[in-house]
Structure 1
C-alpha cells in the first residue's frame, strides 16, 4: 500500500482511527518488524499484537518484532483499549510491502471530538493492562488536564497515592501509606538525585509537570528495577521525537490570581520536536518552561498542649503570615539516532531549577505564666512573654541530568546500555531571623471552644516599644548530591517457550556522593539595647479575615540596616553558632553494586516473571563533633557500613479473557537510612546533659511484599479493578530520646544524660485494598455520551512495633487509612471539562514520647477543576481553578481537638491558551 493511498484512506475515514505500519524484513532475516501508531502517527505504547496466535506487546513507542516468520499466509490482529481490535489475513505478498490496518472506534467524527486527553487515558489503561507487574500510568496530556503544578500533584490522582504538601503544593509522593523517603524516583529509568540535605526523598515539586512525557507508579518490583523502593517507584519519562510523528510543537501560557493576596501567578511552556535526516533516522525534542507564583499563606499554631487547672490548654498562640515567591524553570533536550531497526542511540538531558524566596512575619504569645480558668474552655493569663519575629529565607534548588545509551538487536538477543550523571544542589544563600521580645508582662484571654481557638492579647502586646532586641542569626547552607550510574541489560529470547518470552540478566552501579555544609552565626543583645520602636515598624492589621489581630511587624531590611549601623547592639554567641553549624555537616560516599537474573515466561494466557536481584551497599560517612566544655570543634568522626542483600521476586499474570486480568506478586525491597541519620555527628551540651548524635550502625529496612489483583477492562474505554497488598517491614527507623544514659559522648563523660539518636524498631506491617473504577459513558444518548467518571479508593492499615517506651498500637508515619479520588469529565464538541476531588485521611507525622505528644496531620480534601474549548486542531482556551474548597493544612497534637497548626492558602484561578501542531 503506497504512502499516498494510506494518507487518502486516513483523510476519508469517518472514524477516529489508528493504523499499524508493518515493514517486512528480507526472507533471510526471518523476522517481521512493525509499529503501532494512532491516526496522527504517534506511537501507541503497549499495543497487543497477535501474529498467527503468538501474542506480543509493542514497546514504549509502539514498535514490535515478530521472530521467525515463515513463508505463506498469516493472521494478524491488533488490540488497544478504547480503539477496539482488528483482524486481518496477510499473504506472502503483503509481507513484502508496508501494510496498513485501520481500527475504528465506532465514534463518528461529526458526533464526538476525541481529544488528546482521552487518547492519553487510553494509553494509561493499555500500559496497565499489558504490564507484567502492578503499574499505574499517566501520559503527558493526562498530567496537564488538571491544574497540576508539578509531578507530585499529578500522580496523587492514581489509586493508593497521596502527597505531603508544602505551602499548599504537593511535594512528596506517598504510595500506599509508606513514608515518601522509601519511594524510588527515577528519570528515564535512572535514579534521580535528591537536593534535600536531610533525607533521600526527592522533592517532586521541583519538577514542573510540563517537562514530562509520562509517569509510571510501579507498585510491585521486577528484578531489573532498583530494590530501594519499599513504597514503590515513580518513573518519570521525558518525551522522545519517536513518540510522535513528523514535526510537532506546542506553546502554552497562563495567567491567574490568588484570592488570599490578590497577586498573579503566570507561566509558559513550549516544545518543538520531530524526526529528520535520511529516512527520518534522527530525532530531537527541545522543551522549556517557566512559572512564577507569588504566594501568601496564613498560619495559626498551638504547638504542644499542656494542662492548667485540670483543663487542656495550648502552650502557644503563634500567628504567622508567609509571603513568598516561587519560580520554576525547566529545560529538556532529547536526541535520538536510529540508523537501522537494530540500533537505537539516544542522549537525554534535563535541567530543573526551583527558587523559593520567603518572608515570614510571626507574633508569638505563649499561654503561660499565671493561668486562670473561667470554664473548661475559657480563661485568662498574665506574666507571659510576647515575641515578634521576621524570617528571610532564600532557597535555590537545581537539578541537572544527562544520560546516554542505546538498544542493540544482536544476532541473538538484545542489549540495552545506559550511563547517567546527575547533580542536585540545594543552596540557602540566606536563612536569617530577627527576634524581639517583651518581659514577662503580657496578658490575654483565651477561648478554646472552636478548633481554631481564639486568643485576645492585652493592648500592651501591640506596642512596639515593649519589644526589645533578643537575637539575630544568619544561616547559610549548601547540600550537593552527585550520582554516577551505569547499567547494562541483556535479553535472550526463549522462543521455544513463547513469543516475547525471554531470559534477562543485567548489572548496575550507583556511585553516590552527598555533602551538607552549614554556616551558622547567631548574635545576642550587645552593650547597646534597642526596641522594635526604633525601627518605626509597619503594622499588619489581622490574619484569617480579621479573626486574629497581628500588630507591628519586624521590617527585615530596616532591622538589618540598624544593626549594621550600630554594631554595639550585637554580641556573638560563639558556642551556639559553632554547635549548630557543625551538627548539620556531613560527607557521605556510597556505592551500590547490583546484578540480577530474571525470566519472562509467556505460557499461553499465563505470564510468569521469576527472578532474583543482589545489591551490595558500601558506605563511608564522616561528620563533626562539638562539646561546650571546650566550646570548640572536636575531631572529625567517621563511620562505615557494608552489607549485601538478596531480593527474590515473582510476578504472575493471567489473561482470563481479552478483558479480564488476574495478577499476583511476591517481592522484596530495601530502604536505606537517611544520610543525616547515618552521619556520625555528635553535639554535646554538658551543662544541660544532652547529646544529639547520628548512628552509622543503623540497619536498612527490609520489606517482603505480597500483592494480588483483578482487572476488568470495559467495552469502549474503562476499567474496574481491585487489588490487595501486604508489606512486612523489618527494622523501621525512628528518632528517640533515651533518658539517664551514662557514658562518654564527644569526649565528654556524662551521667544521666538525655541522648537523642535514630534507632531501629523491630518491625512494621502495612496492609490494604485498592479499588479503581473509570468509564467513558459512551452508551448514553446524544450529547450525554461525552461524560465520563473515575473513582478510586484505597483502605490502608499499618502497625509499628518495638518502639522503646511505647506499648500502645502505633501506625507508620505518614500513613493515611483512606486515600480516594473522584473525577467527573466531559469531552465532546471541542469542550473538555474535568472536576476532581482528592482526599486523604489523617496520618501520624511525628512520634512523641507518649500518645498525647504525637503530631498528626489532619485529613485533607481538595477540589480542582478545568474547562477548555478547542478552536479547530491547533488552539484551545482554558480556565482552571485549584483548591476551590479553600482547604487548609492542619495538624493536631494528641487529640483531634488539640490544634498544632492551621495554615490557609485560599483559591487559585488561572486562564490561558494552548497552541499545538
Structure 2
C-alpha cells in the first residue's frame, strides 16, 4: 500500500540519520513503510546541536516544497532568546528590531523573507494565524502593519519552525513573500510517560549594569497506552534595557546664507531610553485519542510583555534660535547642507528637552484552538479546527513634559558623514533644571490607547490517499475567519491653561543625570551629564498641569477600525512518479472589508459618513466607513526531483497575496480647505499579488552536510508606496459661504498601489567536521525596487551568516555572526530613512553537569553593534538621521530535565 509522505515521515528519516543508520540510502530503505518506521523509532528523542541539525536537514530534503526548518534541541545550545533570533541565521531570512520609526533595540522583533518588508511574511502557529500586539505607541497608532511581534514568542515554546519559501494551496494566505509556521509541542509526541524540564537563571545587561531573573518550566504527562496526555509550560523573564543614542528629530530645515538656500540639522538630540521588560505566559495542551482513528487536541497560549519605558531627548533647537534673532555662521557647506556651523545671538531658546515616560506600556498575544483529526479509513483523513486569537497593544499613560532650554546661549555643530554621530554644542547649564526656559514648552502625549487585534476562525481540511498511479493524494479544505484591528479611543493631553504650568518655579528642583559613559558609548562630542526628572516626578507634573479631558482632548486622528471577513477554499494534488514528486493546487480567497477612518471633511469615497462630530479641541471630524470586497484565485505548483541519494532539484511557481497594512487603509485623512491639499490613508488600496518563481539544487553530501544554491523572483503587483492623488471632499469653507454643500478636488498624499519586483540568489553550506565540530555559512543576494526605480522597504542586497560549533557528551559551544546590508526602513514624519548595514555576534556555551542537569551561558550582541540610520532625498543626498547603542546581554541558566 502506498502512503503519502508527510513531515512525520521526514522526521523518521531524520531520526535514522541521527542514529547513524543513514550513511547512505538504498533501495531497501525506500521500501520501508511509514507505519514500520513509526513503530521502530517511536522512542528516539532529538537532543543536541548535531542531532537537531541532522533532523532539520532530513525534513528539508524530504519536503516537496522549498522550506527551511529549525528543530528544537536542548534549550540553551543555540544563541537565541526568541524565535526571530533563531530564524535570522537561515538563508533568505532577515530580522529587524523595530516595527515603526522608534529605532532598533537589542532583541529581534520582526521577520521578513527574501528582501521584502515584514508585512509580506505570514507568521502562523501550528498552521493558524495569531493575534499580535505592539508595546511601542507609534506601532499602535501610526505605522500599523500586518507583521507579528516576535518579542512575544520565546524560543522555549517551539518544537520546530518551518519557513515556507514557496507556496502551497493548503497554506493560509497572507504571506506574499512566504510563511513562517511555528510548531509547538504536543503531549502524545513525548517519548516518556512523564517529562519535566525547568530552567532557572538570570540575564545581565551591561549598559544598565543590571541583573534580572529568568525562568521556564515544562511538565508533560501521558498514559501508558499513549491515548491521553497533558502538557503545561510556563515562562517568566525580566530584563533591563538601556539604549543610548543620537537623533536628528526635526529633519533638515532651510534658510538662506549669502543668497544661497541651504539645509541645516534642525533638532540634534542626545537620547537616553530605558525600559523594564517583563515577559510571562505559557502553553497548555490537552490531547486525547478516544479511538484509534480519532485524535482531539485543545491548545492554549498566552504571552504578555510589560514594557514600561522612559525616553529622554535633550536637543539643540536650531530653527527656534534662527526664528528668534539668532544668526547662522556657515563654516562648511556641502551639497547644500551646512555641515559645520554655529548660531549666536537672539532671545529664544536654543534647546528643547522632551521627557516621556510610558508606565503600563504592554503587548499581549493569546489563542485557544480545538482540533480534531479523524482517520476515517486507510485512505481518508479529515481534520477540523476552530479557534480564537487576541492581541493587544496598550499605552494607557504617557507622562510628558517638553521644556525650552539654553535661552540665547548659542549652539554649534559639525557633521561627520552618515557613519558617525554629529558633534554639537549647546550653551548654558544642562546638568540641572536651572536652564529651563521662563515659559515651559508644552505637555503632550496620547492617553488611554488600547489597540485590539482579534480573529475568530473555523477551518476544515481533508486528504484522500490513492493506492495506484502517480497521484498519491488529494488535499482539500475551506476556512472562514473574521479579523479586526482597531484603536477605538485616545486622549491627546495638553497643558491645563488654568494651572501654573508656565512657571518654572512650579517644577521640581531635584533631579537625576545621564550615565557618565553616555557619550563614549554613542561616540561623538556633545552635551553630557544631562539632568532629568524621574518617572514619578513626571507623573506628578502631568497630574497637576495636564488636561486629559476625554471629550475635549479626544484625538480622532489616531482612531481607526479595519474589519475583514475572509473565506477561502482550496484543492491540492500531490504526486510522485519515479524521481519526481510535488504538488499542484489552487486556493480561492474572498475578502469583505469594512474600513472605518476619520477625516476633517466628508470623504466622497466612503460608503457611509457620520458627522460632523463636535466637541474635540482638535476640530470637528467625520467618521467614514468604506466597504468593498475582492476575490482571487491563487495557483501554486512545486516540483521536486530526487536525482539520486544525495542530489535534489526543485522548481516552483505560485501567486501569493498580502492584504494592505491597517494604517495604509485606515489612516486619518486631513484636508486643508485653504490649499486644497492633505494626507491620509487610502481605503481603496488593492491587495498585493506576487507572482513567484523559485529554483534550487541541493547536495546532501552527509547526514549533517548540505551545499545548495537557489534563485528566486517575485513580481509584486499592487505593491504599496506613497504618492499623490486627487480626491473629492466637502469644502467646509466654501459650503459655509455658499449655504449648501460644495465638493472640491484636493491633492492628497496617500499610500498608492504601484508595482515592484525582487530578484535574488541564495547559497547555503553546512559542513560537519569529524564527530564533534561543524560550520555553517549562507549568503543571500536580493535586488528589489518599486515603480520609478524607488526602493522596496526591507530590501538588503547582501545578507550572510557564519557559525561554528563544538559538541560532545559533556560540552557544547557555538558562535554565530549575522550581517545584513543597508535597507529602506520607512518614513518618519516627512523623512525617508534607511538603516545602514549591521552585523551581530552571538555565542553560547554549555556543560552537562549530570544526566539531569546542565549549565549554559548565552551572550548576545557581543560586538556591541551600533545601529545607524540616514535620510536620503534628491536635494541633499544622504545625511545622518539616528545612532543607537543597546549594549551586550549575558544569560546564565541552570537547567533540569527528567
The residue correspondences of 1:107-506 to structure 2 (distance < 5 A) are 115-141=47-73, 144-166=76-98, 167-196=105-134, 197=140, 198-246=144-192, 247-276=194-223, 279-303=225-249, 304-305=251-252, 309=257, 313-368=264-319, 369=322, 370-376=327-333, 377-382=339-344, 383=346, 385-393=350-358, 394-411=360-377, 412-438=379-405, 441-449=408-416, 451-459=420-428, 464-467=434-437, 468-474=439-445, 475-498=447-470, 501-506=472-477
In the TM superposition, residue 460 of structure 1 has moved relative to its aligned partner by 5.0
Among 828, 832, 842, the alignment partner of 1:864 is 842
The equivalent residue for 1:797 is 783
Query: Are the aligned partners of 1:146 and 1:834 in contact in 2 as well (CA < 8 Å)?
Result: yes
In the TM superposition, residue 330 of structure 1 has moved relative to its aligned partner by 2.0
Query: Are the aligned partners of 1:436 and 1:531 in contact in 2 as well (CA < 8 Å)?
Result: no
The alignment status of 1:757 with 2:741, answered yes or no, reads no
The equivalent residue for 1:899 is 880
In 2, Cα distance between the equivalents of 1:349 and 1:283? Answer: 15
In 2, Cα distance between the equivalents of 1:460 and 1:609? Answer: 71
Matched position secondary structure for 2:895: strand
Matched position secondary structure for 1:472: coil
In 2, Cα distance between the equivalents of 1:655 and 1:841? Answer: 35
Matched position secondary structure for 1:148: coil
The change in CA–CA distance for 1:243 and 1:374 in structure 2 (over 3 A counts) is: same
- Structure 1: gaps spanning 5 or more residues: 1-30, 32-53, 65-75, 106-112, 779-784, 802-806
In 2, Cα distance between the equivalents of 1:184 and 1:822? Answer: 26
In the TM superposition, residue 593 of structure 1 has moved relative to its aligned partner by 0.7
Paired residues in the alignment total 821
In 2, Cα distance between the equivalents of 1:554 and 1:95? Answer: 67
The residue correspondences of 1:721-800 to structure 2 (distance < 5 A) are 721-736=708-723, 743-744=729-730, 755-761=748-754, 763-778=755-770, 785-800=771-786
Deviation readout 1:361-390 (Å, 9 max, x if unpaired): 221113342321234543312356311121
Matched position secondary structure for 1:123: helix
In 2, Cα distance between the equivalents of 1:766 and 1:471? Answer: 45
Which range is displaced more, 96-105 or 889-898?
A: 96-105
In 1, Cα distance between the equivalents of 2:36 and 2:798? Answer: 55
Q: How does the TM-score come out when normalised to structure 1?
A: 0.83
In 2, Cα distance between the equivalents of 1:319 and 1:576? Answer: 34
Among 799, 806, 815, the alignment partner of 1:826 is 806
In 2, Cα distance between the equivalents of 1:571 and 1:848? Answer: 27
Query: Are the aligned partners of 2:817 and 2:839 in contact in 1 as well (CA < 8 Å)?
Result: yes
The change in CA–CA distance for 1:531 and 1:742 in structure 2 (over 3 A counts) is: farther
The alignment status of 1:84 with 2:21, answered yes or no, reads yes
Matched position secondary structure for 2:233: strand
In 2, Cα distance between the equivalents of 1:97 and 1:438? Answer: 78
The change in CA–CA distance for 1:433 and 1:648 in structure 2 (over 3 A counts) is: same
Query: Are the aligned partners of 1:523 and 1:571 in contact in 2 as well (CA < 8 Å)?
Result: yes
- Structure 2: gaps spanning 5 or more residues: 99-104, 135-139, 334-338, 602-611, 736-741
Deviation readout 1:305-362 (Å, 9 max, x if unpaired): 3567577642321111011001111210112112444222211111111111001122
In 2, Cα distance between the equivalents of 1:689 and 1:444? Answer: 38
Among 554, 578, 590, the alignment partner of 2:533 is 554
The change in CA–CA distance for 1:224 and 1:496 in structure 2 (over 3 A counts) is: same
In the TM superposition, residue 888 of structure 1 has moved relative to its aligned partner by 1.6
Query: Are the aligned partners of 1:491 and 1:504 in contact in 2 as well (CA < 8 Å)?
Result: yes
The change in CA–CA distance for 1:790 and 1:845 in structure 2 (over 3 A counts) is: same
Deviation readout 1:542-593 (Å, 9 max, x if unpaired): 522384324222344334434645x5xx678999944xx2122222221111
The change in CA–CA distance for 1:99 and 1:164 in structure 2 (over 3 A counts) is: closer
The change in CA–CA distance for 1:730 and 1:266 in structure 2 (over 3 A counts) is: same
The alignment status of 1:670 with 2:657, answered yes or no, reads yes
Deviation readout 1:526-556 (Å, 9 max, x if unpaired): 3533127831042425522384324222344
Query: Are the aligned partners of 2:10 and 2:58 in contact in 1 as well (CA < 8 Å)?
Result: no
In the TM superposition, residue 838 of structure 1 has moved relative to its aligned partner by 0.8
Query: Are the aligned partners of 2:712 and 2:761 in contact in 1 as well (CA < 8 Å)?
Result: yes
The equivalent residue for 1:530 is 503
Query: Are the aligned partners of 1:208 and 1:330 in contact in 2 as well (CA < 8 Å)?
Result: no
The change in CA–CA distance for 1:144 and 1:532 in structure 2 (over 3 A counts) is: farther
The change in CA–CA distance for 1:629 and 1:688 in structure 2 (over 3 A counts) is: farther
Matched position secondary structure for 1:677: helix
Query: Are the aligned partners of 1:227 and 1:668 in contact in 2 as well (CA < 8 Å)?
Result: no
The equivalent residue for 1:12 is none
Alignment RMSD: 3.3
Deviation readout 1:628-671 (Å, 9 max, x if unpaired): 99764434211112011001111000000111100010011111
In the TM superposition, residue 830 of structure 1 has moved relative to its aligned partner by 1.1
Matched position secondary structure for 1:868: strand
In the TM superposition, residue 515 of structure 1 has moved relative to its aligned partner by 2.1
The equivalent residue for 1:545 is 520
Matched position secondary structure for 2:89: coil
In 1, Cα distance between the equivalents of 2:677 and 2:14? Answer: 72
Query: Are the aligned partners of 2:482 and 2:564 in contact in 1 as well (CA < 8 Å)?
Result: yes
In the TM superposition, residue 137 of structure 1 has moved relative to its aligned partner by 1.1
In 2, Cα distance between the equivalents of 1:407 and 1:504? Answer: 14
The change in CA–CA distance for 1:402 and 1:646 in structure 2 (over 3 A counts) is: same
In the TM superposition, residue 440 of structure 1 has moved relative to its aligned partner by 6.2
The equivalent residue for 2:826 is 846
Which range is displaced more, 125-134 or 537-546?
A: 537-546
Which range is displaced more, 853-862 or 884-893?
A: 853-862
Query: Are the aligned partners of 1:434 and 1:556 in contact in 2 as well (CA < 8 Å)?
Result: no
The change in CA–CA distance for 1:98 and 1:706 in structure 2 (over 3 A counts) is: closer
The change in CA–CA distance for 1:690 and 1:144 in structure 2 (over 3 A counts) is: farther
In the TM superposition, residue 461 of structure 1 has moved relative to its aligned partner by 5.4
In the TM superposition, residue 144 of structure 1 has moved relative to its aligned partner by 4.2
Query: Are the aligned partners of 1:83 and 1:103 in contact in 2 as well (CA < 8 Å)?
Result: no
Deviation readout 1:392-422 (Å, 9 max, x if unpaired): 1132222221111122222341111111111
The change in CA–CA distance for 1:446 and 1:656 in structure 2 (over 3 A counts) is: same
Query: Are the aligned partners of 1:621 and 1:679 in contact in 2 as well (CA < 8 Å)?
Result: yes
In the TM superposition, residue 899 of structure 1 has moved relative to its aligned partner by 1.4
In 1, Cα distance between the equivalents of 2:39 and 2:537? Answer: 73
In the TM superposition, residue 504 of structure 1 has moved relative to its aligned partner by 1.4
